[in-house]
Amino acid sequence: MTLAQPGSWRSPITPEMLTESGVTFGYTQTFDGELYWDELRPTENGRNVVVSKTGGDLLPPPWSASTRVHEMGGLSWLVCTWQKVTGVLFAEKTDQRIYWLAPGAGPVPITPESPTGTLARYCDFLIRDSEIWCIREITRGHETSRDLIAINPVGEIRTLDANSHFYAHLVLSPDQNSLAWISWEHPQMPWDGTELRVAKISSNGELATSEARAGSTSEAVNSPVWANNETLFYLSDKSGFWNIWETSGLGSNRQVVSESAEWSKPMWQVGMNLLRILPDGKLVGIHGSPAAEKVAVVDPTTGAVTDCKSELSNFSQISVHDNQIFAIGGGVKVPAAIVEFSASTGQDAGTISEVSLPVDVRYFPTVRNVSFPSKAGRTVHAFISEATNPDFESSEKPPVIITAHGGPTANTTGVAAIKRAFVTSRGFTVVDVDYGGSTGYGRDYREVLKGQWGIVDTEDILAVVAGLIESGIADPNQILIRGGSAGGFVVLNGLVHSNVFAAGANYYGVAELTMLAQDTHDFESRYLDSLVGAYPQERDLYIERSPLTYADNLTSPLIIFQGADDPIVPPSQSQAFRDACIKNGIKHKYFEFPGESHGFRKSETIMTCAIEELKFYGEVLGFTPNL
C-alpha cells in the first residue's frame, strides 16, 4: 500500500466507465408471461431501449422510447396486443409521436405530426377494445394543456376528459367499465396534493362525470390498483407517511397499513409502479427509508407485512405475474439490477439483468447513514462514503466533497454509484446530504422546506459541514461542494453565504429565482409558490433568496456545467453566474454542452464533466489527479 496525497491516487475506475457502466433501468412490465423493461444507454447517445427478458432489444436503433411530458418524462411504452397483434407502443424521442412496432416490421406512426408552433406529447398508455387510451400534453408557445384521449387504429383522436391540468396513473377496472386516474391542479405539486378520480365508461366508450375517491390539496395520493370492479388500493400520505389505503366508494376510506415509513416516492415522472396486486388479492409494495427499503407482500385484510429477502437496499419499480414479483433495485455492491422474488416465500428468485461493478468491489466505498443536528434542532440525514482504495493510504486527511441532491423534493441513497466511487477511489470522502425538504422521511420532513427554500437547505448543509469538522472527519480547509439543479442552487447559496468551501461545482443550478419563476416549464411553473412564495406578489422575497443577488460575496472558485437545451434551468441562469465570476475576478470554468438538456445523457459530456471537475479540484487544492 502506497502513502500518497488524496486526490492523486491512481484508480482503475476510468472516465469511460462512467458511461459504460451507466445503463439506467426505467420501468418494468409483465405481459402474457414475459417480462419487459427499458434501458437508458449513454453509450448510444442516451437512447432508451425497450428490452424483453427472452428476446433482447425490441427497438432497433436509432429509435428511442422517450416522452417529454412534463419535461421530466415518464412511462413512454407499452407491450400489448392491439388489433390482434402483440407489439410495442412507444413515444419516439425525436418527434414525440406514438409509434406501433409489430414483430418483423418497422415502427409505424399512429399519431399525426404536430402542427407548426405546437408540440403534442403522450405517455401512460393502455388498450381498451381497439383504442389506445393515454395522457396527451399539448404545448403552444408558453401555453400548455393536458387531457385524457382515445386514439383509434387510423390515428383519429377523441377527448375522454379535459377537466384537470395534470394527469397520471391511468388504470382500467378488470371489467374495463371504469377508469381511475390521479389528477391535480396548479399550484400543487404531485407530492403536495392530488386526487384519485374514478369515472364509469359508457357502452360507446365515453367517460361519465368522474368522482373523487381520495386525496385533496393537502393529501398526496398515487399508484392506484383495482382489487375488483369497485374497490381500489392506493398510496396516501394522509397519516404523515405514504401508506397503503383502500377505497370502495361507499364512504370513508380505510388505511390498510399504518407505518412511520414511506411506501411511495415523489412523482417526478408519470408512470411509477409502486403498488401492485397479486392474483390472490395480496398487495406488493416498497417501504422503508432512503437508508433501507424492502419489497413487501401485504395482506390487505389484516395489514400484515412480509418483507422479501434481498441484499439490495433500495427499490424503484415493481411488476408482478402470477406468483412472481419483479423489482428494479440497487445496493452497496450492485448499482442497479432487475430481480425476481417469490410472492409466496419472499425469497430472492434470481437476477434478471444487472449493471455490474466494472472493477473489484474493494475500490467502492462502504456507505454509512449518519445524522447531525440542524441549526433549528432537527435531525439532518446524510450518507458518508469514505476515501477507499486498497492500493493507497492517505498522507493527510482526505478532502471532503459535500453533495446536494436535486429536486429539491428528492433524496439520495447508499446504492453503489460509479460516479461516487470515481472520486472516493482517488482519495476523496463524499458526504451526500438529505437536507430538510428531502423525501423518504415523511411529510413533516418534506415540508420543512415550504416557504424556506434557500434557507433550510443551506443551513442544513452548513450544519453537516460543522458536524464533520467537529467529529474530525473533515479538514476545514479542504471541503468542496457539488450539486445539480436544485442541488446547484444549494451549491451557489453555500458559496455566497459562507466561506467554508474551498471550491464548488455547479451543474445546471438555479442562480436567480425570478428568472426561474418566469422562464421555466409548466410542470414546475408553480413549484416555487410553496418553496418560496407567490410570484410576482412576493418578488422581493425571490430576489432575497437568489444566490445571484449575493454574487459579489463569492470568494471560492467555481466550475459550472450547463446543457444548452435545458428548458427547466435555461442557460441564462448559469451564464449569469459565469458573468458574475468574470466581473469579480473569481477563478472559474464554464462549460455549455449543445444537445444536452436537464441532466446529461451523452457519453462525451459525462466524461468531460468528470475529468474537468476533478482537474479543477486539483488546481484549487494542489494535487494532480491521476486520469
Helix (H) and strand (E) counts in the chain: 10, 38
Q: How far is CA 502 from CA 179, 226, 304, 454, 455, in A?
A: 55, 54, 51, 20, 21
Cβ distance 146 to 136 under 8 Å?
Answer: yes
Those residues whose C-beta lies under 8 Å from the C-beta of residue 318, and which sit 6 or more positions away, are 28, 273, 274, 275, 276, 284, 285, 286, 295, 325, 326, 327, 328
DSSP state, residue 396: S
Cα separation, 342 vs 347, in Å, equals: 6
Cβ distance 58 to 31 under 8 Å?
Answer: no
Cis-peptide, bond into residue 408, ω within 30° of zero: yes
What are the grid coordinates assigned to 45, written together?
Answer: 447517445
Look at residue 510 in the predicted model and tell me its pLDDT: 92
* Cross-strand partners of 297: 284, 306
Q: Which of 214, 146, 144, 222 is nearest to 190 (CA)?
A: 222
φ and ψ at residue 557, rounded to 5 degrees = -60, 150
HSE on the CB side for 417, CA within 13 Å? 16
Look at residue 519 in the predicted model and tell me its pLDDT: 79
Cα separation, 358 vs 288, in Å, equals: 29
Amino acid identity at 290: P
Please name the residue ranges forming H helices in 68-121.
none
Q: Which residues of the chain have pLDDT under 70?
A: 21-22
Cα separation, 109 vs 95, in Å, equals: 10
Amino acid identity at 530: S
**DSSP assignment string, 463-501:** HHHHHHHHTTSS-TTSEEEEEETHHHHHHHHHHHS-S--
How many other CB atoms are found less than 10 A from the CB of residue 19? Answer: 20
Those residues whose C-beta lies under 8 Å from the C-beta of residue 313, and which sit 6 or more positions away, are 291, 292, 293, 329, 330, 331, 332, 413, 414, 415
Beta strand 558-563 with 503-507 is: parallel
| 571 dihedral zone (left: phi>0; alpha: psi -120 to 50; beta) | alpha
Radius of gyration of the chain (CA): 24
Cβ distance 364 to 416 under 8 Å?
Answer: yes
DSSP state, residue 69: T
Look at residue 21 in the predicted model and tell me its pLDDT: 67
Cα separation, 151 vs 154, in Å, equals: 8
**CA angle, 197 then 273 then 333, to 5°:** 155
Look at residue 251 in the predicted model and tell me its pLDDT: 75
What are the grid coordinates assigned to 450, written together?
Answer: 415550504
Q: How far is CA 493 from CA 34, 326, 458, in A?
A: 49, 41, 7
Find how far residue 525's CA is from the centre of its chain.
18
Q: Is the pTM of this model over 0.75?
A: yes
